[in-house]
Amino acid sequence: MKIGLFATFMSPQSTPEMLGDFARRAEDTGIESLWLGEHVVLFDQMEFPYPGSKDGKIPVPEGGGILDTVSTIGFLASCTSTLRFATGITLVPQRNPVYTAKEFSTLDWLTNGRVDLGVGVGWCKEEVINCGYSWEDRGARCDEFLEVIRRLWTDEIASFEGEHFSLKECRMDPKPIQKPHVPMIIGGHSKAGMRRAARFGSGWYGFGVDPALTSKMLSDLDEEFARQGRSRQGFEIIITPPYQVNQEMVEQYAELGVDRLVLHLGNQKPERITQRLSEVSSLVGVA
């Protein structure tokens, strides 16, 4: 089982110097991949609270903000040679699918195939609306956008006609280094998320799930694969567990067939990063 780290890098502490140093140290520690969270705008008031904190707000430093994932991955990749990068997740239904396809095919080209596209529909209604899209149909729109992206990555001449998007015949190059295309790792715990994973995914990403919930989610995923007449063979299972993970939990995830365990980095102060990398290094050996 591979061990990765999940982080949402934020200004002002995530300087170029800090990020470059962190990426090199993570690679030297034996960490396999780094997963970055995405939000483009933030809000003081939201209809639905952020599920990852007690107060329902994203913990951003005063005067700071979340760095763009694509730009940050490009920077981090230039500082490393083996570390893999992924989005955890990219908010596909609030993006332009043509630009998204271009960005990630270019990243794949420049990193020599070290990129995964993590996919989700998002929880922040205000963010979706401010990106120019409607909230209620984001799931159906996500499915169409994924098909557009896939065609741009694989078809010499791509086109698509759907309810939410129209793509006239065009060419997109360079194609991704990875074949048939950049892996799409589909996130989400709902039945719709499972359907999307079985249809489009090279893997499924479960966030914040312990071993017991992981077992249930995998049963749901297997049911969806059976409905679609597909096999889960060759399909990756990626899990970000709760923050505190011990050796016993790592072994439990491994027994469930988890392929990648993406641990929280947590606090990004220099002394805390050093401590966390030491903790993760011990778990790399267990995995």
pTM for this predicted structure: 0.95
- Please give the share of the chain, as a percent, with pLDDT higher than 70: 100
In the structure, what pLDDT confidence band is assigned to residue 258 with cuts at 50, 70 and 90? Answer: very high
In the structure, what pLDDT confidence band is assigned to residue 243 with cuts at 50, 70 and 90? Answer: confident
The per-residue pLDDT for range 181-226, each reduced to its tens digit, is 999 999 999 999 999 999 999 999 999 999 999 999 999 999 999 9
pLDDT at 286 over 80: no
What gap in Å lies between CA 224 and CA 192, rounded to an integer? 10
**Domains detected in the chain:** 2-286 (3.20.20.30)
H helix or E strand, kind and range, residue 52: none
CA dihedral (232, 3, 175, 231) in degrees, to 10, reads: 0
Q: Which residues contact 274 (CB under 8 A, 6 or more apart)?
A: none
Q: What is the pLDDT of residue 57?
A: 82
pLDDT at 285 over 80: no
Q: What ranges make up the beta strands (E) of the chain?
A: 2-7, 33-36, 84-87, 90-91, 115-120, 158-161, 166-170, 184-187, 203-207, 236-240, 260-264
Q: What is the pLDDT of residue 55?
A: 82
pLDDT at 270 over 90: no
- Please give the share of the chain, as a percent, with pLDDT higher than 90: 85
In the structure, what pLDDT confidence band is assigned to residue 54 with cuts at 50, 70 and 90? Answer: confident
What gap in Å lies between CA 103 and CA 121, rounded to an integer? 18
pLDDT at 238 over 80: yes
Q: What is the mean pLDDT of residues 159-175?
A: 98
| Lowest mean pLDDT segment, chosen from 51-60, 151-160, 243-252, 272-281 | 51-60
Q: What is the pLDDT of residue 244?
A: 84
The per-residue pLDDT for range 56-88, each reduced to its tens digit, is 888 888 888 999 999 999 999 999 999 999 999
Q: What is the pLDDT of residue 282?
A: 87
Let me know the angle formed at the C-alpha of 194 by 218 and 215, rounded to the nearest 5 degrees.
Answer: 15
